[in-house]
Amino acid sequence: MKKFHGLAAITAASVLGAAVATADENAELVINGEIEITTRTNAPAHISDVLDEVLSGWRFRSDQTQEMEMDDFDNPGMLGVESALDTWSTADGSEGKSCADCHGEPEEMAGVKPVYPKWNEEAGEVRTLQMQVNDCRENRMGAEPWGYDKPVAIDMEALLASVSRGMPVNVAIDGPAQETWEQGKEMYYTRYGQLELSCANCHEDNYGNMIRADHLSQGQVNGFPTYRLKNTKLNGMHSRFKGCIRDTRAHTFSPGSDEFVALELYVASRGNGLSVEGPSVRN
Amino acid sequence: MKRTTITLIALLAGLGMANADTVAPADITFTDDGALAQSLTGVAGDPVEGAKVISSKSLGNCIACHEISDLADVPFHGEVGPILDGAGDRWSEAELRGIVANAKMTFYESMMPSFYKTDGFIRLGKAYTGKAYEGEVEPLLSAQQVEDVVAYLMTLK
């Protein structure tokens, strides 16, 4: 694992001042000159009635923002990964164990991120990666669970995403997970709030269009956690969902809620086939 | 004493045209085509105020979705809805009033929000706080603001 420096964060702040620039929608993403990222591919079968192809949010960002994700030294999100590397090997809780004690090197977790959220048989529920990490903390380490989408949890999610970069998202939507997936699908098409807007209104019917100063993407989650130039930190999916629902003048849901777990599963499944890209850079 | 008078005048002005002629959102009737013939206030709309409502992020924020060449000096016009140039030629005043009050009566399942409506929302929030709504529901625009917006749209010929 490379080590990263504060320089990346400074770069981020200067880019923020730039005017809205249109994206080069034909650029291709290769990270560090070696990790090839699929940012455009055929839509998975379960949404082929509404979309022909699925596109990563990276394709909708300006050239400058796109470039920041092409080298880990320019990607401020990698600072979170670096911090999680320390956490990974630090013992915590009553059992005195670290993640590394059970799992070895973080690279051994490659392939985990692409299949989450995932059905957990013993628990009888669909679990996000953060829920699974907390299960390890509570039941194997005897440590306190981390707050949902809180920095330490997001950094760990970023580390787990980073070692799976380039692998295709492949969440299961059938079998026991189907009911949760259906719940998420219904939410995706619900027109919330006083503005009566659904996720689909913006991200299915209008991706590629400007909504005031924002260039609408498909609202895919393959790039999460995302480092946003807007708030200069790593952001979790549920926090993003919360913001989008709040912007419809609605009473939103909380990160970690059953509703957002279901929505995460559904939205993640819309990106099956895109590469895991987190931590990504967005505006 | 003087203070009370000023406050009272300010209050009346603040209430705008919430006079006896104001039609509440629940009391309006659309034609089958979604038009609203009757003025919501009985007071003629002010196109200058209307342009402000259309441009302002905290009011109509219409340009989030629509481009209007006449307002080119306001930055960032969206492209979700049609360009509104010539709207005053394409639509009558009654039709425009209907579209602004509740576009879904004119365009089936339109993405355009309903600006003069107070019921039927799912998980209504308290403005942009993300919290649940409390108290009486206010429409997105007041009756007079709707009239002002319609008056402005009528100038787009």
- How much is the ipTM here? 0.91
Residue B144, CA distances (Å) to B60, B116, B155, B156 in order: 13, 11, 17, 19
How far is B7 from chain A, CA to nearest CA, in Å?
31
Residue of B nearest to A200 (CA): B111
| Residues of A known to be catalytic | 244
Is the Cβ–Cβ distance between A54 and A44 less than 8 Å?
A: yes
How far is A212 from chain B, CA to nearest CA, in Å?
4
Instruction: Indicate the pTM of the whole model.
Output: 0.91
CA angle in degrees (0–180, nearest 5) for A181-A185-A190: 145
As a whole number, the mean pLDDT across chain A is 93
**Could you tell me if B123 lies within 8 Å of chain A, comparing CB atoms?**
yes
Instruction: Check pLDDT > 50 for residue A102.
Output: yes
Instruction: Check pLDDT > 50 for residue A54.
Output: yes
Q: What is the pLDDT of residue B20?
A: 67
Cis upstream peptide for A225 (omega within 30°): yes
Residue B82, CA distances (Å) to A34, A215, B63, B79 in order: 43, 17, 10, 7
pLDDT range class, residue B125, cuts 50, 70, 90:
very high
Q: Which residues of A touch B65 (CB under 8 A)?
A: 211-212
Instruction: Check pLDDT > 90 for residue B35.
Output: yes
**Residue scoring higher pLDDT (B11 or A55):** A55
Please give the structure tokens belonging to residue B59: 């009011």
- pLDDT mean over A262-281: 98
Instruction: Check pLDDT > 80 for residue B144.
Output: yes
Residue of B nearest to A216 (CA): B80
Q: What is the pLDDT of residue A16?
A: 36
How far is B111 from chain A, CA to nearest CA, in Å?
7
A211 vs B78, B127, B140: nearest CB:
B78
Residue A136, CA distances (Å) to A17, A102, A141, A149, A156 in order: 41, 10, 6, 17, 13
Considering only residues 50 to 109 of chain B, which have any Cβ-Cβ distance to chain A shorter than 8 Å? Answer: 57, 61, 63-65, 75-80
Angle of helix A7-16 versus helix A78-88 axis, rounded to 10: 150
